[in-house]
Amino acid sequence: MRLTTSRYGLSTPVPTHCRRAAQRLARYQSTATSTSDEPTTPSLSPRWLSDIKTRVGKCINFGLDTPQTMKAGSILQEIAVDWRELTVDCVTGHVNNVIYNRYAESARVNWALNFANTIDPAHKSEWTGLVTPSGIGMILRSIRTDYKFPMKWPDRVTVLHKLRNKPTSDTDHFILDVMILSEVHRRPAARCVEDIVIYDYKGARKMPLQPFMVDKFKETFELQEQAKETYGKRVTELTERVRELEQDSWDRPDAKEDFGSAENP
């Protein structure tokens, strides 16, 4: 799954080169009407991960035998290692709301440069040029941010960008869904929707995506869909395993809580 990950600490500024590039993009915003920003598929509850941990914790507190304890440990280990994939979305005190947008904009530059440096190095100069107002570039037409909860220092954020739709040769803009994850809370702190326009600075006009962009965006979208199906199934399986653990422990008809004893605390 080609999701570019950008991570920032709340105690450090966004990297200067990313911030300057994002500011250049923001200077050339268009006033054109944005398109619908409803997700193509419903997202998971932002609290699904904490819900699973709470449910497993209840089973553990109730009292588990050795096989059940191994099952619980397996579930907790899996979500501890893969929580970002499964969730696919100097600052002190609360993070200012403007900072969330800055994280998203800076990470978008990294997202484009990832195509240049890793995914499609054959068109490195073209991808790199997209983040500069010198030829064919990307303009942020609009951004909408939904804040989930206020982050506090100390924390770190992981920012993920995802294409919403599969592009075509006549596409002149694209939508990016952005998830800003709190590393401490392991859930989304904010979600953004970015509407990006392809713009010819020399000709002063909008233009369709370049063929090399369409090709790589199509590949990326297909990988996203495959990953969405894969991790969606894993979350469903995790939920089923938790329910099975509940039915084997506190939610069975003859369940009795294990309070321990002096001989076996």
User: What's the first-to-final CA gap in the chain, in angstroms?
Assistant: 47
pLDDT at residue 91 in the model: 36
Helix/strand/coil (H/E/C) assignment for every residue in the chain: CCCCEEEEECCCCCCHHHHHHHHHHHHCCCCCCCCCCCCCCCCCCCCHHHHHHHHHHHHHHHCCCHHHHHHHHHHHHHHHHHHHHHHCCCCCCECCHHHHHHHHHHHHHHHHHHHHHHHCHHHHHHHHHCCCCCCEEEEEEEEEEEECCCCECCCEEEEEEEECCCCCCCCCEEEEEEEEEECCCCEEEEEEEEEEEEEECCCCEECCCCHHHHHHHHHHHHHHHHHHHHHHHHHHHHHHHHHHHHHHCCCCCCCCCCCCCCCCC
Distance CA 74, CA 234 (A): 13
Orientation of helix 211-248 relative to helix 66-87, angle to 10°: 160
**Structural domains of the chain sorted by starting position, each given as residue range(s) with its CATH number in brackets:** 5-31+46-248 (3.10.129.10)
Question: Would you write out the chain's pLDDT as a tens digit for each of its 265 residues?
Answer: 444 556 655 544 444 444 444 444 333 333 233 333 444 334 556 577 788 889 999 999 988 889 899 999 999 888 888 776 776 543 345 566 788 898 999 999 999 999 999 999 999 999 999 998 888 999 999 999 999 888 887 888 899 999 999 999 899 999 999 999 999 888 889 999 999 999 999 999 999 999 999 999 999 999 999 998 998 899 899 999 999 999 999 998 888 776 655 455 5
Q: Are 116 and 4 in contact (CB under 8 A)?
A: no
Structure tokens at 81: 């290692």
Which pLDDT does position 94 carry in this prediction?
53
Angle (CA) 125-131-137 rounded to 5° is: 85
Give the torsion through C-alpha atoms of 34, 189, 223, 229, to 10 deg. Answer: -110
C-beta separation of 192 from 100 below 8 A = yes
pTM above 0.75, yes or no: no
- Residue 139: the pLDDT is 93
